[in-house]
């Protein structure tokens, strides 16, 4: 098996982003530009991944500290050829080296697999563009063989008419790449060491040069400013919506959905406008997500309905549940089948068994709730004493009256009924009514304050 090394160039400052953040750390679809590239690289199972950093290098290293990448520093920045040179001391001569770019985020694994298939030749990724302005041109001879790549600033008028352009992405035998890089010159208008100059060296040595093309044009779009970032975001979101539509998902308006991670759907899923899906989200058969919901790192089982403006993060929603509108399900929550969580109800780190419901204006935190429980409006589990968190246990078939405070740690035993307006601080007996209210006092003759009028 051929050893594969991957070098990712990520040293540019990105001055046109007008930001203190390194360009490659700006985000598209919920991940940094560089993270997209690193994830694609990892999918190829390479021997080494080396990120060449420069401006903001400490921030880059910090973001990827837990990932299987190594770092090389380019300082000063003297061109793409110079950037790759910084990584070469970390590479053995065996195998091939694939060169990628941290500001070309959407390159796909299938494209890279084709590009790195040839182990004894130089393979470059090219593309045909109607408007090639700004790109280096691929120069071919009368037989169609690649003879060189010329940067636009160095190109003649005839060469600028060429429409096949260089994407910058290439694969080459590592030993040859090392040799070619050592021979680079910076005698050009920019005074830089161009990686593209290795093409002419390969031609001179009779090394085979192959070209490959991406399946989609958006794969090789690079980012230089916020406008381009925004445009590529729209392209990527459109592609993801297209993928879901072809799988049978109903999306009310494909231009108004945001997928910032991985969304998988079973049959007959419906998604209304303005929904955001982050991280890994799975929607089961027949799930309906109404307008303007946010779902992150969660699963929603078959037949459940998420009503408008609900927010679900790191939670599991069972079958045939009804959530919202305006509900918030926080991390660690697990809802069984046929649970109802209504408007302005917040659930945090709690487990709720089947057919239980909290339909209005409640906070349920750090609780274990049994089946067929009814939680009245305004109920609060008082789980925090200012220093520690405590757990509330509500067993099966409990009825909690409105405006109740359950002061944890406390257990509401099976079949209990809690009268409205109670503050429960002790465990309740099973099947009994528990109340905790102050004596009502009526004050006769009391007058409601009257708003004072200003005097002239």
The catalytic residues are 360
- Packed helices 174-182 and 80-87: angle between N→C axes, nearest 10 degrees: 130
Please say whether the beta carbons of 139 and 165 come within 8 A: no
Alpha-carbon 95 to chain mean position: 32
| Assigned token pair, 95 | 């195998």
Name the nearest CA neighbour of 196 among 121, 14, 186, 114: 186
For residues 26 and 55, give the distance between their C-alpha atoms in angstroms, rounded to a whole number: 14
What are residue 139's phi and psi, to 5 degrees?
Answer: -105, 125
- Give buried/exposed letters for 220-252 (b at 16+ CB in 10 A, else e): bbbbeeeeebeebbebbbeebbeebeeeebebe
Please say whether the beta carbons of 290 and 273 come within 8 A: no
Name the nearest CA neighbour of 241 among 217, 206, 277, 207: 277
Q: How many residues are recorded in the chain? A: 456
């Amino acid at each position: 098996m051929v050893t594969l090394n991957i070098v990712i160039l990520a040293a540019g400052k990105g001055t046109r982003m007008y930001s203190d953040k390194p360009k490659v750390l700006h985000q598209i679809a919920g991940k940094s530009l560089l993270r997209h590239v690193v994830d694609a690289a990892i999918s190829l199972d390479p021997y080494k991944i080396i990120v060449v950093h420069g401006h903001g290098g400490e921030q880059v290293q910090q973001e990827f500290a837990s990932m299987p990448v190594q770092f090389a520093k380019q300082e000063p920045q003297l061109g793409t050829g110079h950037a790759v040179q910084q990584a070469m001391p970390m590479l053995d001569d065996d195998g091939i080296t694939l060169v990628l770019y941290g500001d070309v985020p959407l390159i796909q694994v299938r494209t890279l697999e084709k590009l790195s298939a040839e182990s004894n030749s130089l393979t470059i990724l090219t593309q045909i563009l109607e408007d090639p302005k700004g790109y280096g041109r691929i120069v071919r001879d009368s037989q169609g063989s690649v003879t060189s790549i010329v940067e636009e600033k160095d190109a003649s008028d005839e060469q600028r008419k060429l429409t096949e352009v260089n994407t910058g992405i290439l694969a080459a035998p590592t030993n040859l790449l090392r040799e070619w890089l050592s021979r680079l010159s910076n005698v050009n208008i920019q005074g830089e060491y161009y990686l593209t100059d290795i093409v002419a060296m390969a031609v001179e040595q009779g090394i085979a040069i192959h070209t490959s093309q991406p399946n989609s044009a958006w794969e090789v779009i690079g980012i230089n400013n916020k406008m381009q970032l925004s445009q590529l975001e729209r392209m990527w979101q459109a592609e993801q919506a297209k993928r879901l539509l072809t799988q049978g998902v109903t999306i009310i308006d494909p231009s108004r959905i945001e997928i910032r991670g991985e969304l998988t759907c079973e049959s007959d899923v419906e998604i209304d406008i303005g929904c955001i899906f982050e991280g890994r989200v799975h929607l089961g058969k027949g799930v309906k997500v109404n307008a303007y919901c946010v779902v992150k790192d969660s699963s929603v089982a078959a037949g459940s309905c998420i009503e408008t403006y609900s927010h679900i993060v790191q939670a599991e929603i069972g079958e045939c549940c009804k959530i919202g509108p305006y509900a918030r399900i926080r991390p660690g929550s697990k809802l069984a089948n046929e649970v109802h969580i209504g408007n302005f109800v917040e659930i945090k780190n709690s487990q709720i068994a089947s057919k239980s419901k909290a339909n209005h204006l409640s906070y349920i935190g750090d609780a274990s709730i049994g089946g067929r429980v009814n939680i009245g409006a305004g109920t609060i589990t008082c789980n925090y004493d200012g220093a520690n968190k405590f757990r509330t246990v509500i067993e099966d078939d409990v009825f909690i009256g409105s405006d109740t405070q359950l002061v944890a740690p406390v257990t509401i035993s099976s079949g209990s009924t809690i009268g409205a307006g109670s503050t429960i601080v002790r465990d309740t007996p099973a099947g009994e009514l528990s109340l905790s209210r102050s004596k009502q006092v009526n004050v006769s003759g009391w007058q409601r304050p009257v708003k004072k009028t200003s005097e002239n």
